[in-house]
């Protein structure tokens, strides 16, 4: 039984977090440095962007997490620390500053960053802000940390659940950011997930790599894969359950909790796309296999033409069929059904890959709502998958035309 609770990344036992303004950003009204800390070192795993150009912090995080352990995450916003001459040195130095203030090993601090690419990241803001950042750490600090990692996001993203493992109540929660440069392939997309469940590093790694395929990797806002995408999971074991070291019912419960949190954070990222007005969800069923369903659903939410049609509440279903047709997968396209739905209702707009009469005004009303779902049945198998995106608006161009300012 999964129970949704409050608390985000600090909902689990032994986790504290905070966010402060350090001076990395020019706007003192926007916090820009977040810290998440576990009372004890935890078993950890991470996944990263597949972009060949990677942020400097990723190299440092990979090195620090190589032993499968971590105790803290340090993340700044406003500067991506990417394509800079001393990026790794700065990321390493920042972890050392945090570790000294916390009294832990710098190897257990994982750095992350988000913001403008190609601008040197100064170390002084970390030196100046770290004492206040550590002093403000709180077991209710999830929202504070979630706010500090935002860039063009318009709201914080946090979620948490409880589940049972080994007769103990375990908690898993996380925060995320992402609004533009989002086309996740494991955007800038960052997510930090904590749990008090006792689970080995190997099993955390297995669960995370299997999970992102159906959650974070199924999100696209604009087709640009960021240089900084990172998802981190830290499990400190303070729930007291017998450590999960193999695939069993407790592992399945952990995976279910991870899936729910990851999926909800993914939806929040998609629904907060730069300039967007609507969350766009594509559900593809009747596919010959899971991978085909994933590819088709993501192809739909990535279509700039269809995203623009959704912005205008135009039921131009031909753009959906077009996006399905250029998907790089093998499947039968002769018997495809397409519906659009929202809280206003549902209408079938395409039957057996051909036009049918439908109420265009009703379809427009459906597409005018904040959460729009496209239901596609390929009638070519039993597999299904979801993907999430958003509409494409005038404001997307405005935001990205002046991003550095």
Residues classed as catalytic: 188
The angle, 0 to 180 degrees and rounded to 10, between the axes of the packed helices 87-102 and 124-135 is 30
Dihedral sign for Cα atoms in the order 121, 126, 127, 129: positive
Task: Identify whether the C-beta of residue 55 lies closer than 8 Å to the C-beta of residue 87.
Answer: yes
Residue (of 251, 258, 177, 231) closest to 12 by Cα position = 258
Q: Where are the alpha helices (DSSP H) in 185-336?
A: 201-211, 249-271, 290-302, 304-311, 318-325
Please classify residue 153 by burial: count the beta carbons closer than 10 Å to its beta carbon, then call 0-12 exposed, 13-18 middle and 19+ buried: buried
What is the chain's alpha carbon radius of gyration, rounded to the nearest angstrom? 21
- Compute the distance between CA of residue 147 and CA of residue 158 in angstroms, rounded to an integer: 10
Residues counted in the chain: 405
Q: Which two tokens stand for residue 297?
A: 């659903």
Dihedral (C-alpha) 352, 358, 361, 365: value to the nearest 10 degrees? Answer: -50
DSSP character at residue 63: H
* Phi (first) and psi of residue 22, to 5 degrees: -110, -20
CA atoms within 13 A on the CB side of 172: 29
Residue (of 113, 63, 67) closest to 90 by Cα position = 113
């Amino acid at each position: 039984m999964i129970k949704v609770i409050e608390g985000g990344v600090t909902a689990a036992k032994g986790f504290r977090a905070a966010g402060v303004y350090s001076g990395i950003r020019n706007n003192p009204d926007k916090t820009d440095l977040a810290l998440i800390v576990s009372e004890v070192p935890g078993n950890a795993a991470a996944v990263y962007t597949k972009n060949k150009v990677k942020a400097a912090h990723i190299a440092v995080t990979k090195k620090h997490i190589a032993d499968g352990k971590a105790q803290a995450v340090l993340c700044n916003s406003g500067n991506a620390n990417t394509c800079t001459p001393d990026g790794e040195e700065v990321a390493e130095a920042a972890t050392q500053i945090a570790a000294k203030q916390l009294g832990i090993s710098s190897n257990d601090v994982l750095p992350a960053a988000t913001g403008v690419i190609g601008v040197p990241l100064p170390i002084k803001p970390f030196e100046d802000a770290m004492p206040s950042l550590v002093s403000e750490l709180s077991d209710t600090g999830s929202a504070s940390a979630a706010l500090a990692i935002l860039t063009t996001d318009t709201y914080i993203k946090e979620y948490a659940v409880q589940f049972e493992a080994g007769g103990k109540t375990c908690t898993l929660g996380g925060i995320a950011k992402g609004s533009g440069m989002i086309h996740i392939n494991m955007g800038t997309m960052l997510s930090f997930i904590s749990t008090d469940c006792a689970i080995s590093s190997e099993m955390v790694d297995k669960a995370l790599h299997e999970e992102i395929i159906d959650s974070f990797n199924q999100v696209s806002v604009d087709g640009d894969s960021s240089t900084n995408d990172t998802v981190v999971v830290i499990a400190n074991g303070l729930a007291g359950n017998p450590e999960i070291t193999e695939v069993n019912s407790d592992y399945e419960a952990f995976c279910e909790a991870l899936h729910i949190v990851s999926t909800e954070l993914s939806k929040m990222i998609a629904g907060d796309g730069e300039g967007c007005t609507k969350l766009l969800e594509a559900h593809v069923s009747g596919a010959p296999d899971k991978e085909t369903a994933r590819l088709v659903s993501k192809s739909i939410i990535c279509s700039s033409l269809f995203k623009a049609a959704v912005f205008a509440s135009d039921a131009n279903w031909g753009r959906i069929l077009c996006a399905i047709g250029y998907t790089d997968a093998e499947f039968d396209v002769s018997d495809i059904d397409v519906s659009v739905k929202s809280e206003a209702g549902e209408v079938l707009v395409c039957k057996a890959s051909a036009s049918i009469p439908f109420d265009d005004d009703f379809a427009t009303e459906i597409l005018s709502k904040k959460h729009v779902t496209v239901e596609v049945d390929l009638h070519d198998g039993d597999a299904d998958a979801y993907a999430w995106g958003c509409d494409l608006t005038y404001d997307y161009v405005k935001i990205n035309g002046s991003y550095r300012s």
